[in-house]
Structure formats: structure tokens, C-alpha cells
Amino acid sequence: MRTLSVIVPVMDERDNIEPLYRAVQESLRESFDWEVVYVDDGSTDGTFEELIKLAALDVRVKVVRLRRNFGQAAAMQAGIDASAGELVVTIDGDLQNDPADIPLLVAKLDEGYDMVLGQRAKRQDSMIIRKVPSFLANWLIRKVTKIPFKDFGCTLRVIKSDVARNLRIYGEMHRFIPVLAGNIGSRMTQIPVRHHPRTAGKSKYGIGRTGRVLLDLLTIKFFSGYLTRPMHFMGGLGMFFFGMSFLSLLATLGMKLAIDFDMTGNPLLLLSVMLGMVGIQLLSMGLLGEVMMRTYYESQDKRPYVVRESRNLNNGEPNRDQLAA
């Protein structure tokens, strides 16, 4: 029987902990060996105490408690690192995703895919605060990354473990997991899944994250195409500005020869100097990027989080003050 690791990042979701566990248990017990890896990302409402109770009752419940709130991406990475299943399932801890959809995703994965993502059908969220910004963000991500999925924000997904463990999820890159997986050659698809209104706890997301999505999109585009060749990106921009500087200088000389226009008083001369300086700066940044890239690949493989304690990772004994390196 195949083994599934269900990764659940949580922050202040005390009232949803046991209902989600029961829903996972009900959905998976007939078809899979499974474990649930809860990652407590700095909760302050008693969530960890609820997790300890569950872990004491069922050794299939793993608990990783982070020292502070590191963000959903780091929490998801911590869960993947602690998982042991052949397949990795990620799901939100707010019960808006339905664990009953997990077998459907696994069945689709068996058709030859490395990752199957959920697409929230009949999404139960606020139109202005959640749906409209999400629609615009998904449209922009599709255009920039050339990945045709309609819903990049759905956390419910199933991933083969070898793919999941080759992902490195930093910052707020959890919403770009399909892009990161695509970068390593994963076969992916998306199918509709159910979506429920939140019944307990408070949403941690709002319209304020839209700007961060745009910045993350710029980052992921660079990482997708230019991480190992930053000079091609920065150098290309530098050469563009050098070309504009040359054209501006030619226009200055042409005006001097054609109508005897004073070169020192011509703003195009100043523009050519400015564009040339920008080009030099971009080329210099490209060279520095090459040095940093080589340092990055030759340095130690560090994790973007620090674990305070855990349950059921090593024969059920708590592991305190682990520094993930």
C-alpha cells in the first residue's frame, strides 16, 4: 500500500486541528498508509497544545514547531523535510480544502504525472478581497511563466516525493511551487477540487499581498531562466542601455553637423552619458551576480527555518532546539 505524507502548515488554527485530522483519517484510511505532518508556524492561540494531544494519541501525527513565524513557504519546506511518504500532499489547515479530494488527485497522478494541483471550483471567498486579486495574479503568472494553470493559489496538491524533496521553497514562493517544479522538468496537470467557506479562525491573507506577488513573480522569472547565468540577464539590460547611449550620442553628433547645434547644451549628450553609466552598472551587477551564483552553489545547503521542538519524528521523543542545516 502506498504511503502519503500530508503536510499542513498552521498558524493560529486551534479549532481546525482535530477536525482536519479526522477528515484526513476518514478520507485516506481505506486506500493508503498515511501520516500527517503539522507545522506550527509560530502560533500563539493554543494550536501547539492541540497538536501535542493529537500526537500523543496517534503516532502518524508528526508535529514540527518552528521558533517563530517564518511564513507559509518555510513551514511547507519544514513539513516536506520531515515527511517520509512516497507521495507528498500539501493542504491548508483552515478546512477550506477538502481532504476527500486527495484520492482523486492521487488517481490523476497515476496517469503519469509528477504533480497534480487542485483548482478551486466555486471558490468560497470574498469577491473583492480574495477572488479579484487572485484572478489578476493568476492571469499575470500564466503570462509570465507560460504555465497554463488557472489557479496557482490552491494549496491542495499531490507531489511525488522525489520532486518535492528537490524543491527549495524560500520567502513566499509557496504559490510558485508549480513553477519551481516545472524548472526541474516535472510533468504537471490541474483538476477541479472542492472549496469550502472558513468556519473557524481568521484568514491570514488579504489584498495587501498583491504587491508581494508581483515582486515574487519577478524573482521567480529570474530564478527560472537566469539563476545560473545572471550575466545574461543583467548584461543584456546593460547592452540595451549601452545601445541607447550610442544612439543618443549619434543624434547629438548629427544635430551638431546638420544644424550646428551646441553639443554641450544638448540634453541628448547628458542622456547618452547617463545611459552609459547605467549600462556599466548593470554589467558590473551581472559580474557580481556570477560570483554570488558560484558561491551559492558551492556553499552549504541551509534551510530557511529553525525548529524549536517536534513530536513523533524520532520514536515519538521530543527533539528540542534543532537547527536545520
What tens digit of pLDDT does each residue of 209-236 get?
A: 556 667 777 777 776 666 667 777 788 8
Question: 3-226, what's its fold?
Answer: Spore Coat Polysaccharide Biosynthesis Protein SpsA; Chain A (3.90.550)
Q: CB-side exposure of 116: number of CA atoms within 13 Å?
A: 19
Looking at residue 38, what is its pLDDT? 96
pLDDT value at 248 more than 80: yes
Report the run of H or E that residue 268 belongs to, with start and end: helix 267-298
How buried is residue 264: exposed, middle or buried, by Cβ count under 10 Å (0-12/13-18/19+)? exposed
Residue 188 CB neighbour total at 10 angstroms: 20
Q: Which SS3 state, helix, strand or coil, does residue 230 take? A: helix
Beta strands at 87-90 and 3-10: parallel, antiparallel or unpaired: parallel
Q: Which positions ≥6 away from 14 have C-beta within 8 Å?
A: 43, 45, 46, 47, 49, 50, 201
Full DSSP string of 32-53: -EEEEEEEE-S--SSHHHHHHH
Q: What is the largest CA-CA distance in the chain?
A: 90
Task: Please tell me the distance from the alpha carbon of residue 276 to that of residue 314, in angstroms, as a whole number.
Answer: 59
Give the bridge partners for 35, in sequence order: 5
The average confidence (pLDDT) of the chain is 83
Task: Please tell me the distance from the alpha carbon of residue 6 to that of residue 78, in angstroms, as a whole number.
Answer: 12
Looking at residue 112, what is its pLDDT? 93
Cβ atoms of 289 and 276 closer than 8 Å: no
Cβ atoms of 269 and 252 closer than 8 Å: yes
Cβ atoms of 49 and 21 closer than 8 Å: no
315 sits in the region (left: phi over 0; alpha: psi -120 to 50; else beta) called left
C-alpha cell of residue 314: 524520532
Name the band, by pLDDT with cuts 50, 70 and 90, for residue 34: very high
Cβ atoms of 95 and 19 closer than 8 Å: yes
pLDDT value at 195 more than 90: no
Instruction: Give the mean model confidence (pLDDT) for residues 305-324.
Output: 61
Percent share of the chain, pLDDT over 90: 37
Looking at residue 208, what is its pLDDT? 53
Looking at residue 316, what is its pLDDT? 46
Classify residue 42 by its DSSP letter. Answer: S
Percent share of the chain, pLDDT over 70: 83
pLDDT value at 73 more than 70: yes
C-alpha cell of residue 167: 524543491
Looking at residue 285, what is its pLDDT? 83
Instruction: Give the mean model confidence (pLDDT) for residues 146-165.
Output: 90
Looking at residue 225, what is its pLDDT? 67
Closest Cα to residue 179, out of 135, 216, 215, 234? 216
C-alpha cell of residue 160: 511525488
Instruction: Give the mean model confidence (pLDDT) for residues 57-62.
Output: 94
Domain ranges of the chain: 3-226, 230-298
Select the more confidently predicted residue: 96 or 198.
96
Cβ atoms of 25 and 57 closer than 8 Å: no
Task: Please tell me the distance from the alpha carbon of residue 145 to that of residue 202, in angstroms, as a whole number.
Answer: 31
Q: Which SS3 state, helix, strand or coil, does residue 158 take? A: strand
> How far does Cα 295 stand from its chain's mean position?
23
